[in-house]
Amino acid sequence: MHVIGTAGHVDHGKSTLVKALTGIDPDRLKEEKEREMTIDLGFAWLRLDGEEVGIVDVPGHRDFIENMLAGVGGIDLALFVVAADEGVMPQTREHLAILDLLEVRGGVVALTKVDLVDDPDWLELVTLDVAEALAGTALADAPIVPVSARTGRGLAELQATLRERLAQVEPRPDDGRPRLPIDRVFSLSGFGTVVTGTLTGGQLRTGDAVEIQPAGLKGRVRGLQTHRTKLDAARPGSRVAVNVSGIDKDEVRRGDVLAGPGVVRGTLLCDALYRHLPDADSPLGHNVEVKLFAGAAEVVARTRILGARQIEPGQQGWLQLALSQPVAIVRGDRFILRRPSPPATLGGGQVLDPHPGRRHPRFRPEVTGRLETLAQGTPADLLLQTIRRLEPAMRADVLKRSGLTPEAAEAAWQELAGQGQVHALEQVVISRAGLQRLQEQLTGAIADFHRQYPLRLGMSREELRSRLKLPAAVFNPLLAQAAAGGLLVESGALVRLPDHAVRFTPTQQAAIDRLLRRFERAGVNSPSVKEARAEVGDDVYFALLDLGRLRPVSDDVVYTTEEYERIVEQMKGYLRRHGRVNAAQVRDLFNTSRKYAIALLEHLDEIRVTRRVGDDRELVE
């Protein structure tokens, strides 16, 4: 599941375009409808190729740009809106700068209100102006699609372009560490507190214990919804409404983070890599008051420049931020800094250490050296990246190719394993997300088999391995782990889902009963395989084999399990008394034909009850 963020100037028709695409008006406040202006975050969704895609409609007016920052951090793709009758505005450039600083992974430009432009030359000029504004930003390669929400022109092309771009976006990883930056809090009668946001880091399930950070409040997930649809589990990258029990609405505010226990905690100090915007009107100085925006949080902070006197426009530098109140952030989070007055976006960057523990001396080489190492990634980060790139792979190969020393690689492995971010399948290693993906492929393939063959007890191990195209070194421990975890059941050479059972229709059961009566009357001289299949049909016949109610002896001879066991015991008893037996003696013993006698003897040889000695058989004890 993906989330699109709409950005652009207030008069460019963002909300109108969202309504034309989805049928949902994202402007929910009375004041927004009266002023025809998006003031706070709005939400909608549309369906593309069967997948529901969330939309966060953010304010475009520069007076409300700080509300915009609360919703833009979790998006996968930007739908950037520019009006054809106005072109690029100052707000357009500021929104572009913010998307660039947050490293939004790509976007599509909607050139709206083309129905108001009669001059083709003007439209071409605006398109060129937009392309020039995009150059050098995260949206540099974004396609520009002319549209009109009023006439419907270009809407189909816009949807197709969004579909194409979203297909290129990798799913959000599942590291088993769910975090949901809260952008809206409300309560519902009979349900209690509900918070919304874009989920990252891991799945949330109904019944999960959660925390609200930085306050440390503890609660439990009472219910989950995405786009008004109830869920048992929500995946990373989806817009989620979480009904939380045990926490009062008044205890939660926008900017808090709902997370799994121990996933994140508040901080008053953080180290960061910062980039000052090229068009900033002055350098970023030391001990300057700024506003920090991270996730959905907004907090006043003071800058501590490390390793330099100041950070010039267009330059990067090391920064320690002293926060006026706790914010729940983790390493790798992107952030934006704005000047409080007069308000302006200054720059942004990435959190390197959310808990440095103390204020650093400003000009110590060891301080900046440590930050340089953190910017490149911790040993655990580097090892996890290697595992994700190669998985599933042999443990020795991954540790070697990580570029770390053996000691550092082993320590990083222990750290990741202790956090549950990586797993070992004997000598094969895989990330948590990779393991979950393989487990989903495993159970999905079996579920497909059950749907295709509902009367088969299960799927053969070898057919399953072939479908998944996995080497035995990966498949065998993966299957064993899935079985130990209750995801599937192994029955001999067959594999099935725990809730799968063969169920016959009344007509099929009647045919089975007729066949079993024929077997009972025939004794050793049973109906042939061909006759049995004709009586009940191939699907039912093979189901009876899977269920162990019929036992084949040869390609042409089959018995009920009870008759088969009686015959085998009678043969063993004869051999214990007489030592040896031949085909003629078996024929006389059971009053049957040579066809049945030979089939029985060859079957007993095959299962190593007997062994052949000339024309005779003797018992293997």
Q: How far apart are CA 558 and CA 539, in angstroms?
A: 16
Q: Pick from 202, 234, 259: which residue ends a domain?
A: 259
SS3 category, 210? strand
- Are both 350 and 318 inside the same structural domain? yes
Nearest to 328 by CA among 216, 183, 178: 216
Do residues 240 and 338 share a domain? no
Q: What is the mean pLDDT of residues 90-118?
A: 88
Contact by Cβ (8 Å): 477, 427: no
Mean pLDDT of the region 322-344: 94
| 146 and 16 within one domain | yes
HSE value, Cβ hemisphere, 13 Å, CA-based, for 390: 19
Number of domains in the chain: 5
Residue 129 maps to a domain: yes
- Let me know if residue 174 belongs to a domain: no
pLDDT at 4: 65
pLDDT per residue over 40-49, tens digit each?
Answer: 677 788 888 7
- Contact assessment for residue 48 and residue 162, using Cβ atoms and an 8 Å cutoff: yes
Tokens in use for 338? Answer: 């704005």
Same domain assignment for residues 449 and 469: yes
CA distance 457 to 542: 9
pLDDT at 204 over 90: yes
CATH, residue 605: 1.10.10.10
Q: Same domain, yes or no, for 574 and 555?
A: yes
Same domain membership, residue 157 and residue 19 = yes
**509 is a domain residue:** no
What percent of the chain stands above pLDDT 70?
94
Instruction: For residue 131, give every residue at least 6 positions away whose Cβ sits within 8 Å of its Cβ, in sequence order, or none.
Output: 144
Residue 2 confidence (pLDDT): 64
Distances from the Cα of 34 to the Cα of 17, 37, 564, angstroms: 18, 8, 83
Report the predicted TM-score, pTM, of the whole model to 2 decimal places.
0.68
* 405 & 456 share domain: yes
Q: What CATH number is given to the structural domain containing 294?
A: 2.40.30.10
For the chain, the average pLDDT equals 89
The interaxial angle of helices 561-578 and 594-606, nearest 10 deg, is 80
- Residues paired with 327 in a beta bridge: 267
Provide, rounded to the nearest whole percent, the portion of the chain with pLDDT above 90.
61
What is the mean predicted confidence (pLDDT) over 248-257?
95
Asked if 67 and 37 touch (Cβ cutoff 8 Å), the reply is: no
pLDDT of residue 190: 84
8 and 96 inside one domain:
yes
- Name the DSSP letter for residue 496: E
Instruction: Mark whether 134 and 12 lie in a shared domain.
Output: yes
Residues 52 and 88 in one domain: yes
Q: Say whether both 477 and 351 belong to one domain.
A: no
Whether residue 276 contacts residue 313, with contact meaning beta carbons closer than 8 Å, is answered with: yes
Mean pLDDT of 195-220: 95
Predicted local confidence at residue 118, as pLDDT:
85
Domain end (from 309, 344, 376)? 376
In this model, does residue 324 exceed pLDDT 90? yes
Q: What is the pLDDT of residue 8?
A: 60
Banded pLDDT at 62 (limits 50, 70, 90): low
Domain end residue (candidates: 339, 356, 376): 376
State the pLDDT at residue 444: 93
Give me the pLDDT at residue 11, please: 45
Q: What is the pLDDT of residues 424-461, one digit of tens each?
A: 988 899 998 889 889 999 999 999 999 999 998 899 99
Provide the domain limits for residue 320: 266-376
Give me the pLDDT at residue 37, please: 47
pLDDT(404) > 80: no
Tens digit of pLDDT for each residue in 587-616? 999 999 999 999 999 999 999 999 999 989
What tokens were used for 480?
């064993």
State pLDDT tens for residues 154-177: 999 999 999 999 888 888 888 788
Residue range 508-554, pLDDT digits in tens: 999 999 999 999 999 999 999 999 999 999 999 999 998 889 999 99
**Which residue did the predictor score with more confidence, 43 or 108?**
108
| 508 assigned to some structural domain | no
User: Bridge-partner residues for 292, per DSSP?
Assistant: 299, 337
Whether pLDDT at 218 is above 80: yes
Residues 465-514 pLDDT 10s: 999 999 998 999 999 999 998 999 998 889 999 999 889 999 999 999 99
For residue 446, is it within any domain? Answer: yes
Please indicate, yes or no, whether residues 11 and 150 belong to a single structural domain of this protein: yes
